[in-house]
Amino acid sequence: MLGKKFFLTVFFFFLSLSGVTMFGKSEDSTIRRAAVAGSFYPGDGRRLSTEVERMLRETAQEDCGQPRALIVPHAGYVYSGPTAAAAFTCLKGKDIQRLILLGPSHRMSFAGGALPEGEIQAFEIPSGTMKLDLKAVGQLRRNPALRGPASAHRGEHSLEVQLPFLRAVSPEASIVPILIGASSSQEDLRNLAKALGPLLDAGTVIVVSSDFTHYGAAYGWTPFPAGPDLKSRLLGLCQSTARLIAHLDAEGFRRQVEISGDTICGRDPIYVLLTLLSHSFSGDGKVLQISNSGDRSGDYSQAVSYASILFSGSWHPWKDSAPHEGGENFSPEAARAIPKLARATLKTLLGHGPELADFYLEFGDLVELKWPAGAFVTLNHRNMKPGAAGRLRACMGLMDSSQKLEDAVIEAALSASRDPRFPQLRLDELADLSLEVSVLSPSRPVSSYREIVPGRDGVVLSKQGRRAVFLPQVAVEQGWDLETMLSHLARKAGLARDAWKHGADFEVFRAHVFEEDFGK
């Protein structure tokens, strides 16, 4: 998902700042020695325990219910320790036998999950050790979803920095440490989620280790200018994304991060957790705390955002999602939401902000968005009348109706941003463009062009390996009759104007057209 270059950049930037010493394996080959003690957290056992207990003690108590999963940051304690403590305090006094730890691999890129070396039985930190659940680890080793290199655990900090907190709140629990590689596909991540399903029981908690937005030249991500509103923009992006995660929306989260380019290093472990929660969990999510390294350093031009998120409820056996059937009657709320989804996609793509996350928080539960459908997104200059030359700014879409409507709208909007007939879309253009989404019925062939009704039917013309499409509203906006429309369609396909008269194949379809309501 995220590229190897980003992870290596982040890792070596941390090394240069903190002077991390990379330890080899201890003399006891069954123990994985601490690699970042003395840099990310105190290297002295007594001082470490005192520091962890202080952060837990100073954390305001939350109504945590029955914790089943946490998302916590993994930066140096001076920056993210209190935010992590806000989540870990929820585990105090709970009967926890097993902790499944999921974190990103910053040093190595691979697909799927990686377990430690076969001889490892415990992870060491200055304040003690935490033993592995060898039975669970052995069970997972047989699963092809966890064939990543064991060497990825050497020197990796994302799981290690959680151990001092976990040893303080759940000292008797065993751990299942899993690193997830940046070369993982969606299928890899879903398979990994499914592999973890059999381990879920009343005594199991999942801990996902992730920092959020990495902003600054050292991270290769500076989409916002370093002005006076930078702090609020970083905060808003983190808040919206964290709230979407707490809303248990795996696909909405994936889309927000992919389209915005947000540099959340643990995006893949978070996606694994959300996929697992969507199939094996009943309960709620809650954002506990948001912070930023700039709050401590005073410098937001080189800053990392942090979030702690709690999921409380109960586990249940894995349930596959039921397929969604389509429909034709869209609710007023869906009619309002569909063009909003297209605009949110474009604003997130071009401005790198939280608009798509905010959309999913408001409309993500609409059943119509799950219907299978094709869609086109059309952008027009708002100050020009229908049919005027130069009014069209972009129009792209998907005829195929096999994907969910939300996916079709998003993909159509992304394609419209780079319609090859026009210059690539810019963020500063969006305010002056109107947007409409055409939701398409499946196309069907007709035996003759004479069956086509302009204004009612969208048309697909195919001949000699060439193909072109007009939406139903095109003929009406342009004032064309059938023959004029087909002549323009032939030209659009790169054929002669009269090529439609002989040897051409036609398909027709209908469209629900949803326009933006600028009054709301």
Q: How many residues does the chain have?
A: 520
- Do 113 and 255 fall into the same domain? yes
Over residues 115-138, mean pLDDT: 97
Based on the domain organization, do 386 and 482 belong to the same domain?
no
Per-residue pLDDT tens digits for 155-208: 999 999 999 999 999 999 999 999 999 999 999 999 999 999 999 999 999 999
Same domain, 434 and 448: no
Q: Are residue 376 and residue 238 in the same domain, yes or no?
A: no
390-421: burial string, b at 16+ Cβ within 10 Å, e else: ebbbbbbbbbebebbbbbbbbbbbbbbbebee
Q: Is there a domain that residue 172 lies in?
A: yes
Same domain, 50 and 158: yes
Last residue of a domain, one of 442, 475, 499: 442
Q: Is residue 327 in some structural domain?
A: no
Q: Residue 386: give its domain's CATH number.
A: 3.30.700.20
pLDDT over 50 at 517, yes or no: yes
Q: What percent of the chain has pLDDT over 70?
A: 94
* Within-domain flag for 324: no
Query: What is the domain-level CATH number for residue 298?
Result: 3.40.830.10
Residues 101, 18, single domain; the answer is yes
Residues 269 and 402 in one domain: no
Residues 124 and 28 in one domain: yes
CA distances from 302 to 225, 293, 296, 299, 438 (A): 12, 9, 12, 6, 42
DSSP codes, 60-103? PP----SEEEEEE--S-HHHHHHHHHHHHGGGTT----EEEEEE
Task: Confirm if 144 and 188 have CB atoms less than 8 A apart.
Answer: no
Q: Tell whether 138 is covered by a domain.
A: yes
Within a domain: 518: no
Strand partners, 1: none
Q: Are the C-beta atoms of residues 34 and 125 closer than 8 Å to each other?
A: yes
Q: 45 with 147, same domain? A: yes
How far apart are the C-alpha atoms of 94 and 88, rounded to whole Å? Answer: 11
Residue 283 belongs to some domain of the structure: yes
Q: Which of 400, 417, 442 is the last residue of a domain?
A: 442
In this structure, are 426 and 498 located in the same domain?
Answer: no
Whether 14 has a pLDDT exceeding 80, the answer reads no
The whole domain housing 375 covers 332-442
On whether both 192 and 340 belong to a single domain, the answer is no
Q: Would you say residue 320 lies in a domain?
A: no
**Total domain count, the chain:** 3
d(CA 289, CA 78): 16
Segment (H or E) for 411: helix 405-416
State residue 510's pLDDT score: 93
The single-letter code of the amino acid at 234 is: L
Count CB atoms within 10 A of the CB of residue 90.
24
Write down the pLDDT at residue 518: 59
Residue where a domain terminates, one of 442, 459, 486: 442
Position 226 scores a pLDDT of: 85
Residues 250 and 368 in one domain: no
- 520 occurs within a structural domain: no
For 99-113, what is each residue's pLDDT tens digit?
Answer: 999 999 999 999 999
Residue 495 belongs to domain with CATH number: 3.30.1490.150
Span 66-89, mean pLDDT? 97
Q: pLDDT confidence of 222, banded at 50, 70, 90?
A: very high
Closest C-alpha to 208, from 120, 285, 300? 285
pTM over 0.85: yes
